[in-house]
């Protein structure tokens, strides 16, 4: 069997039925772009360790980032191992592939001064559309979770928001449309307690909006991701703050939470991480201001 025949069978039968449609489409795009041109015509049994290693090396030679190259190699491994498990392929050699080393990216967050500028601008403007930025700064919501949030998810009595869904933009009928979906992972479903100060602003916003979505947009489904990302970029430009992606708001929340002494397990649950070690690994190195302050306290002991 040629590898491309098995690859499409694996995608349709074992990926599409077990993952979100968005994930399946991502897998298929990467397979068609990288796996098929280089390996598709091979007989699956002829994908030797040398052939696979040369393919892996070619990905970075073409300028693909190590993390992206590793993702493609992971797809290759998954497809071959499933083939062996089902008896379609006699043997596979993907475990011999040496992948490029991936360095953990530096967490990008706003400084305390920048955060105050953003907050001050949003509160002074008073535009309901901008409130979602403030909400992310004090909840750590992902943008998809934020824009899927409806007022039914907000419990004003308890001061909490319930995260049970997310959204993404999908290309349909020559334009991007908002698609409501499940959360990123099962652990992403969670209840987030909000500061009393934020609840006060949310009550005022609820009384001003007719939309069922917390972040209202032009249509009935609230703001769309690409549009809201552009709105955020405009806010940063207006304030003269260096551009960062919307996800920097989530990083900023996590960093501030650790700085004020929130324990890692609690933060992990609020962020929707499956394991506190993920949180610790991602944010431990982002506390340079807090570390400097702690060291100054230690230094005061020096006579």
pLDDT at 280 over 90: no
pLDDT confidence of residue 20: 82
Quick: pLDDT tens for 233-246.
999 999 999 999 99
pLDDT confidence of residue 301: 87
Distance CA 299, CA 302 (A): 5
Query: What are the residue boundaries of the structural domains of the chain, listed by start?
Result: 3-96, 112-292
Distance CA 235, CA 244 (A): 11
- Percent of the chain surpassing pLDDT 70: 93
pLDDT confidence of residue 172: 62
Distance CA 216, CA 108 (A): 27
Quick: pLDDT tens for 57-114.
998 888 888 888 999 999 999 999 999 999 999 888 988 888 877 666 667 889 999 9
Q: Nearest CA to 161 among 215, 223, 210, 227?
A: 215
Do the beta carbons of residue 140 and residue 224 sit within 8 Å? no
Do the beta carbons of residue 89 and residue 80 sit within 8 Å? yes
User: Which whole number is the average pLDDT over 268-284?
Assistant: 86
pLDDT at 289 over 70: no
pLDDT confidence of residue 119: 96
Q: Over the chain, what is the mean pLDDT?
A: 89
* Collapsed DSSP state (helix, strand, coil) of residue 270: helix
Please check whether the two domains, 3-96 and 112-292, share a CATH topology.
no
Distance CA 42, CA 33 (A): 16
Q: Which pTM value belongs to this model?
A: 0.74
Our measurement of the distance from residue 35's CA atom to the centroid of its chain's CA atoms, rounded to an integer in Å, reads 25
pLDDT at 146 over 80: yes
CATH code of the domain made up of 112-292: 1.10.443.10
The one-character DSSP state at 100 is: P
pLDDT confidence of residue 62: 84
Query: Dmax of the chain from CA atoms?
Result: 77
CA-to-CA dists, residue 214 to 45, 133, 182, 198, angstroms: 54, 11, 18, 13
Q: What's the CATH number of domain 3-96, 3.40.50.1820, 1.10.150.130, 1.20.140.10, 1.10.10.10?
A: 1.10.150.130
């Amino acid at each position: 069997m040629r590898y491309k025949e098995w690859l499409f069978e694996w995608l349709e039968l074992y990926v599409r039925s077990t993952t979100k449609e968005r994930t399946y489409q991502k897998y298929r795009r990467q397979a068609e772009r990288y796996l098929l041109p280089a390996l598709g015509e091979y007989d699956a049994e002829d994908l030797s360790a040398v052939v696979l290693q040369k393919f892996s090396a070619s990905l970075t030679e073409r300028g693909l980032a190590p993390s992206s190259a590793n993702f493609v190699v992971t797809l290759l491994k998954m497809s071959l191992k499933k083939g062996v498990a089902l008896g379609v392929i006699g043997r596979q050699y993907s475990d011999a592939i040496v992948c490029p080393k991936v360095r953990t990216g530096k967490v990008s967050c706003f400084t305390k001064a920048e955060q105050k500028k953003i907050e001050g601008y949003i509160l002074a403007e008073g535009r309901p559309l901008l409130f979602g930025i403030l909400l992310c700064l004090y909840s750590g919501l992902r943008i998809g979770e934020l824009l899927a949030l409806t007022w039914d998810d907000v419990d004003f009595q308890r001061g909490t928001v319930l995260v049970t869904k997310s959204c993404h933009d999908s290309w349909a009928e020559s334009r991007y449309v908002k698609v409501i979906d499940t959360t990123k992972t099962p652990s992403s479903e969670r209840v987030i307690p909000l500061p009393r100060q934020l609840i006060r602003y949310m009550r005022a916003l609820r009384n001003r909006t007719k939309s069922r979505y917390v972040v209202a947009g032009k249509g009935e489904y609230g703001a769309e991701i690409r549009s809201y990302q552009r709105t955020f970029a405009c806010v940063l430009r207006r304030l003269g703050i260096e551009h960062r992606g919307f996800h920097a708001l989530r990083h900023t929340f996590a960093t501030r939470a650790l700085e004020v002494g929130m324990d890692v397990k609690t933060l992990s649950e609020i962020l929707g991480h499956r394991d506190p070690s993920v949180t610790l690994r991602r944010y431990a190195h982002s506390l340079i201001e807090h570390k400097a302050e702690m060291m100054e306290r230690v230094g005061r002991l020096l006579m």
